[in-house]
Structure 1
């Protein structure tokens, strides 16, 4: 099966992962040739910056050109500053920019992938973990270009010198054919100052109170960003207003007199240092400088050091005298950053202190983001990719402070920590205003910004400031629609962003409100994305309100055509009921498998050709013969020995390179003439007599009481594996030395972790494996690979977290519920496991997904009934349709899953008679049953046999190929092999392995003797 598209990862990949600039970067998968690596370039960049008061609006229009002869897909990532969210997204459709509209995040992903399969032009921008945004662009046409536009509003803050600062990073690693930067500062009495600029000719020129500057360059590689400083002219309140349908939105900036009170540091401080892989992206120089100021201030104290990655450990106690912390400094400077991040692993008992300093980006990729500390925790971040909401919540909940060292200087951060800061406490006499944000206590460092809604034409209210609950200062603000000119900025969106930022601190409690706000104001949040569709029919089909340009046509056809176009969702329950009946019939069938009944002997056909085989439809005679040959038992050993090599391999012939439709056609043809082919091949084939019954009557080897399941140890043949030798300690050092070369390669961590598991060093193995979670944000393919390996190695608690995250990201997939349910069962949460398996059948799916996953109900029914059989006394089936309850104990069950969508993998199982069960022979003579052939999606595929004959069973998988386009590495498959399934004597073995297309020969998975 050939792939129809490829995602190129430009040489920007390492820049993306370890960037020091907060700028959009195209994420790419390593291509083969040098020409492919340079296939996509940023051809045109147009940036427009407009600043009014302390609000800056930035719009970036980017044109990417694909120089290759292949259609590609791009993935562009934007790390955004604290409190900033993208609110505008547009994509070129038929040569014209089309604005995006808001949609629920899960629905946006589902619609994008559904349309993408039709090879049309969707665009999707979504928020991923932390304050990071990602847009997926398809297609990037061969030798063609695509243009996207992204815009955001940013609230600028004043520093201690009463200066607003705007910064735009522009550190690009390639020349841009056409580069344009235009900047306008409105209503500024004092001329703005340029802190840095991309070009020596750039300047801001006055036109009244407006200052503007522009540069246009060709074949230009900007290396220096743009920084604009705007001095504040006085201490008077600054007001921006915008008319609403009722009342006005307002934004007020006030400048209370700076006050603070000294704060006394505790004598025992817990220092928690994030040493996960993502820690390599932090600015540890800044962190060490801040720590130095704290220690020199306190002079004498005790610091307990805790290190957190995928686990947590106490790294020692450091008694510091007279500010000398050289031992601790040396320890911190020589830390190894490795593993995923699990903030939930922090153990309060092992690191007891009176207050804590937590240095982390807050992105908990391998465990929950809550920590069990009941003393003040000060959260310090220096990473550009960070989960600000998590850090703020931890600080707020424990009574600590959040410090973002990306936005303030080290000295300012120290002052904020070293003193009790003046805080905004609330509003007095604010009857005519509502929905004001912030609505909670926040620190005030000489500047405070408040947004809200005013009901009257004019009003007056008082802002209160103080310490604790004591008010020490008040400031009166007067709002009057006639005195304050209506602002040119979108005040209502600034208000919405401030409200969302506050609600997001406790996301789970407020996610419904966040969704309503984000869809109304077009702001990208955790649960809302922006989407662009190609034509009106798509907006109607998926029930998405289009942008303004299409709304008139949309409304005109809404009633007439929407019903006929609207995508009808469906569940799997009726198919599951029918499947249960089918499985019951199969299970109750007494298959002939012991050879008691003697069949009449057949005589060889003098014609060496296979008789009775003719073309069916467009399936050729040769194709049918080759496929049919797979299901015939092998020749007797003596006769086979006399054959040449080609004939010996007859049973290994497979039909390769077919599309799903071709595979189905061949399978149907085989089924139609199976009897003729089988009978013909029982006769003479190239002069050798083959009798099928003789194979069935061959005495099997004695089988043990408990069948022995043998699976091979997977060993990678990659070059880096040659360096892993000797003791685990020396091998770990070799791994660290090699890592920089493979820093963003998922299979590097998988392979190396597998080696350590084989050396019985499960602690290091798990740390290395967990790095995969830190490689990419919200990458379900990577997390599925992790879940498989965690299941195999018995790390069930971690498996549960990982599968829960995948379900959160991809609730549209039946497999997400199934994987989570099976992880719950591994964690002995059997009721929840049963409930989630039942959800697989009762969820609503769009037609494409329902068609893709047709047949999954067969696997789920088996797993539901296994739980009911084994744990029926402790779980309730009250909510389960009774028609689905049917005990199905079997001697053999093999189930196959894989981690990538749009992937075609086949399960093969050869029984002791030599008959191979596969998609073209799904019902074997001894009663074996192969489930539906999944030619796309994630599977699963299953083999079951109720009564197994004695002998060897061989399990293989055939990998046709995939159409995935991300950086998750090779397709990874997991096979669960059960004997005596649902009988009370059940045993399971799990194997996880990356696959490569094997030219139809199959990948060996395992075997067992029954």
Structure 2
């Protein structure tokens, strides 16, 4: 009897937008609805702010109370301001706060999920796309509470006038039982001013040069934020120092005077407007106001508008006279924001301008994040969830400016764009300082700070500022460790954050150095997370250095039994070799079949001019193991070529193209047809070429005929959701209905899936792809959503997009065998067969921890079939030197069905009922007629596979049984994809793909498809 334990776990989503006043809001979101639940509340909140010079450290201690009788997992996702990274994370373990330690991101995710399944208390904080962060806390106990601490350092920006500005948003939608706020400003010569305050009783009181404000409230609902303006003297540099192992870390803050130098705008401007779904989160009014200032300044110009989402569209040219841009503004205000984002879609060849303005959040969710433009591109961001590094890189690479409207006013942004900005150019006489950051030219907007390392006790050097390469002003700096009071903040961490921020602009080139630095200083980056584990054994088991409190015990045990306690790693290669032997035995078995059908030739191989060719491909000759012989093929008679008649040859080819019949997607039919024609041509020219088009016969009438394929019938999926009732009529009106309904389902993935599916069925593939790609904009680094997206892209022949999506999942989850497989199959779909083969083989050679290897036991059976299919079909184009020869064995079969799903910790079963009425499934994996079901996966992502070498005549029925999952995220229902093949790994292969959302209440099986042999 099959057992599946369903855990009573609901997803807890906590959204916090610190930078604009939307503070932590707790939601309980069911898998398929937006139903709210008040069971979990923020019970206590303590905020401690410390400001020294231009650096503010904010630490938030949050206690969440779960009043329900169910165990929950917490997820807290929030954006951070430009250049800010989280550097502290702690979780309560057994009543005490335990500090997190830095670990490689992929390893941290793997360890967290491994421990979570054991129902032990891990905590994880990671950086997701852009400058956005996510914590995962498990468990939030029933009728209990958990406490977390999140801390970060922030470099303050210069505001209008001579002020540095600190802002803490405090806008909550519920009362907090215990709320406290304390702010301390150290070593301030001038008294700080309160721009806004949460309560009339809050004030900053002087204690010498230190100013302190504090208040405590009960059952308090904060609505107004805290803003502190710190006046600065521009004639007085600020210096902070901290002892290093070799020298001193230092941070210098100066306020250089600048003389404006106007910059002339071009007459031809290209306006790239990000119109993807995430555009709804931008401050469009502020962006339009900035554009208004630019146009009013220039007065007369031509603007070419380009709209960017999952594709790119030239939206017209607007000639502006005397600053009148009404037509363009009206067009921008009517933009419909929809679809994912693909920066790589920008077509500069048909979108020419002298300089460009690009309004976007920098998150390219549906394609590579690069724009191929060789003219200045000014990047403008107004979104909280932004990828600042990408926007900076685009502007830096092209000679443009990056403007962050979240941190400066429109007038300041306009001045930055319309003037030749004063820049930091470098250091003079800096022999006694090293590792100074920033190390490149950067704009100076009122103030400039430099961090570095002093070699000795004291030195003097000069900061140089100017325009281009011309120095116009200098600022002398004097460092003296005996005179300067050592800072109360961690200068080393500020220095590390500055260095990481600069390296992150070119992440791929610097990712290894970023990883080393972030682990050394405990800073969360793209490839490093912070993790908290419950006990010493877990730190030992996963080879993670624990926090200080456990370090002594960790070191003592490590010396004695490190080899015994480390989580062992293994690959799947040996299991794959054993599985190949098992498959060989199965393939060679002659299954006794009742009521045998008339014998027919199986898997014919082409023969050139009545010459028989060896078994399958050239690869077979190189095999190190004995392979099962294929049945003898009937000869294929080649037509006589028509000598010296190119026109007739072209006519023959076109006729042949029209006569090829292959069932599948349009793209697939075209590829397979072209491949067949190409192969036949090659056969005619080269008698030594071995067979590649089994089943193709060339007749003297110069027509190519393909033997009739079995009919694969898959049901047309139709959602029964209420919103589908509003989609009817022509696609234009249906699209307007979709837009009207969308606000009610804005964060529901299946809404976009269902609506896109309707448009695909109406043959409106352009709108369908736009709507479908919106799923990529719903959540940051959500592998479950991207897997669903990849399945649908595969089904509809969008193979280049499928490659990008599966590659992102592989980047996020390299610990999963299925990530390599999905990416490999996407490459194969797109015709990149060598890369596909290499990545399939990686599934078997990657190392996995014991738990993951046990979870995915049996996947090697599927991989072996797919590796040999590639070699059989494309062996002459592939290098197999790196493949273990023991795995190479042709496995042509009449039927192959393979099932995948998008969620981890999920139990789904493949059922196949043959014409005799026998059902193959996990309890009956070997059927009487030779059907073979692969291992039953009760966790992980699958896959499961059915194969039969010789199919008897009759109807075959394919079903999926969904037992349930243990998921706690917001990615919607579990979605499966089934690939149905007939005559797999032969020259007559056909494939159909179906993608289906699963319903847990259907225990009798979901029909996937059927076919007749």
| Shared fold, TM over 0.5 | yes
Tell whether 2:959 aligns with 1:956. Answer: yes
CA distance in 2, matches of 1:748, 1:376: 39
Alpha carbons 1:5, 1:965 under 8 Å: kept = no
Please state how far the C-alpha of 1:517 moved relative to its aligned partner.
Answer: 0.4
* CA shift in 2, pair 1:833/1:28, >3 Å: farther
Q: Give the CA deviation at 1:160.
A: 3.9
Alignment of 1:312-351 (within 5 A): 312-351=312-351
Secondary structure at the counterpart of residue 771 of structure 1: helix
Q: Is the 8 A contact 1:31 1:37 kept in 2?
A: no
Q: Which residue of 2 aligns with 1:355?
A: 355
Measured in 2, the distance between the counterparts of 1:279 and 1:999 equals 38
Compared CA separation, residues 586 and 802, structure 1 to 2 (3 A): same
Give per-residue Cα distances to partners, 1:946-987, cap 9 Å, x unaligned: 011111110000000000110000000000000000001110
CA distance in 2, matches of 1:761, 1:414: 42
State the 1:832 CA deviation: 0.4
**Cα distance change, pair 559–139 in 1 and its aligned pair in 2 (3 A):** same
1:858 aligns with 2:861: yes
Q: Which residue of 2 aligns with 1:75?
A: 75
| CA–CA separation in structure 2 for the residues paired with 1:938 and 1:66 | 30
1:114 maps to 114
The aligned counterpart of 2:590 is 590
Q: Which of 802, 805, 809 is 2:808 aligned to? A: 805
Give the Cα–Cα distance (whole angstroms) in 2 for the partners of residues 176 and 26 of structure 1. Answer: 12
User: Structure 1 pair 197/19, CA: closer, same or farther in 2 (3 Å)?
Assistant: closer
Deviates further, 199-208 or 922-931: 199-208
Residue 908 of structure 1 corresponds to 911
The TM-score, its normalising length taken from structure 2, stands at 0.88
Equivalent residue for 1:927? Answer: 930
2:1009 is equivalent to residue 984 of structure 1: no
Change (3 A) 1:65 1:444: same
* 1:834 maps to which of 833, 837, 862: 837
TM-superposed deviation, 1:31: 7.4
Contact 2:19/2:81, CA 8 A, preserved across alignment: no
1:633 counterpart residue number? none
Kindly indicate whether residue 747 of structure 2 is the aligned counterpart of residue 755 of structure 1.
no
1:715 correspondence with 2:689: no
Quote the residue 1:175 is aligned against.
Answer: 175
User: What's the TM-score once normalised by structure 1's chain length?
Assistant: 0.88
Q: Does 1:404 align with 2:404?
A: yes
Conserved in 1, the CA contact under 8 Å of 2:29 and 2:37? no
Cα pair 1:275 1:335 within 8 Å, conserved:
yes
- Residue 942 (structure 1) shift: 0.1
Flag the 1:22–1:129 CA change in 2: closer, same or farther, 3 A. farther
- Indicate the residue corresponding to 1:184 in structure 2: 184
Q: Which residue of 1 aligns with 2:418?
A: 418
The answer on 1:816 being equivalent to 2:822 is no
Q: What is the RMSD of the two structures over their aligned residues, measured on CA atoms? A: 1.6
**How far apart, in 2, do the equivalents of 1:941 and 1:167 lie?**
53
The answer to whether structure 1 residue 371 and structure 2 residue 371 are counterparts is yes
Shift of 1:821: 0.2
Is the CA contact 1:437–1:499 (under 8 Å) kept in the aligned structure 2?
yes
Alignment counterpart, residue 975 of structure 1, candidates 975, 978, 999: 978
Distance in 2 between the 1:234 and 1:816 partners? 54
Moved more, 52-61 or 587-596: 587-596
- Partner of 1:922, secondary structure, is coil
Provide, for residues 414-460 of structure 1, a one-character-per-residue CA deviation record: whole Å limited to 9, x for no partner.
Answer: 00000101111111111111100000000112311100001011111
Structure 1 segments of 4+ aligned residues over 3 angstroms from their partners: 22-28, 30-36, 594-597
Conserved in 1, the CA contact under 8 Å of 2:197 and 2:227? yes
Name stretches of at least 5 consecutive residues in structure 1 with no aligned partner: 598-702
CA distance in 1, matches of 2:28, 2:436: 42
List per-residue Cα deviations over 1:94-133 (Å, max 9, x = no partner): 0000000000000000000000000000000000000000
Q: Deviations over 1:573-618 (max 9, x none)?
A: 0000000011011111111125369xxxxxxxxxxxxxxxxxxxxx
Paired residue for 2:618? none
2 CA distance for matches of 1:835 and 1:33? 41
CA offsets 1:766-805 (integer angstroms, 9 cap, x no match): 0000111000000000000000000000000000000000
Match of 1:886 in 2: 889
Going from structure 1 to structure 2, the CA distance change for 1:347 and 1:36 (only over 3 Å counts) comes to closer
Partner of 1:725: 728
* C-alpha distance in 2 between matches for 1:446 and 1:752: 50
How far does the alpha carbon of each residue in 1:843-871 deviate from its partner, in whole angstroms, 9 at most, with x for none?
00011100000000000000000000000
Q: For residues 519 and 846 of structure 1, what CA distance do their matches in structure 2 show?
A: 22
Q: Could you report, residue by residue, the CA deviation over 1:683-713 in whole angstroms, capped at 9, with x for unpaired residues?
A: xxxxxxxxxxxxxxxxxxxx98311111011
Give the 3-state SS of the residue equivalent to 1:421 in structure 2. coil
2:78 and 2:596 map into 1 onto residues whose CA distance is 70
Contact 1:904 1:962 in 2 (8 A): yes
- Given that residues 28 and 74 in structure 1 are in contact (C-alpha distance below 8 angstroms), is that contact kept between their aligned partners in structure 2? no
Q: In the alignment, which residue of structure 2 is the partner of 1:537?
A: 537
Q: How does 1:620-631 map to 2 (within 5 A)?
A: none
Q: CA deviation at 1:333?
A: 0.6
Partner of 1:435: 435
Question: Given that residues 192 and 228 in structure 1 are in contact (C-alpha distance below 8 angstroms), is that contact kept between their aligned partners in structure 2?
Answer: yes
Query: What is aligned with 1:791?
Result: 794
State how 1:727-746 maps to structure 2 within 5 Å. Answer: 727-746=730-749
Cα deviations by residue, 1:652-686 (Å, 9 ceiling, x for unpaired): xxxxxxxxxxxxxxxxxxxxxxxxxxxxxxxxxxx
| Aligned residue pair count | 902
SS in structure 2 at match of 1:872: helix
Whether 2:967 is the aligned partner of 1:1000: answer: no
Corresponding residue for 2:232? 232
Q: Whole-Å Cα distance in 2 between the matches of residues 28 and 748 of structure 1?
A: 19
Partners of 1:8 and 1:36 within 8 A in 2: no
Contact 2:28 2:38 in 1 (8 A): no
- Kept in 1, the 8 Å contact 2:824–2:840? The answer is yes
Q: Conserved in 2, the CA contact under 8 Å of 1:170 and 1:226?
A: yes
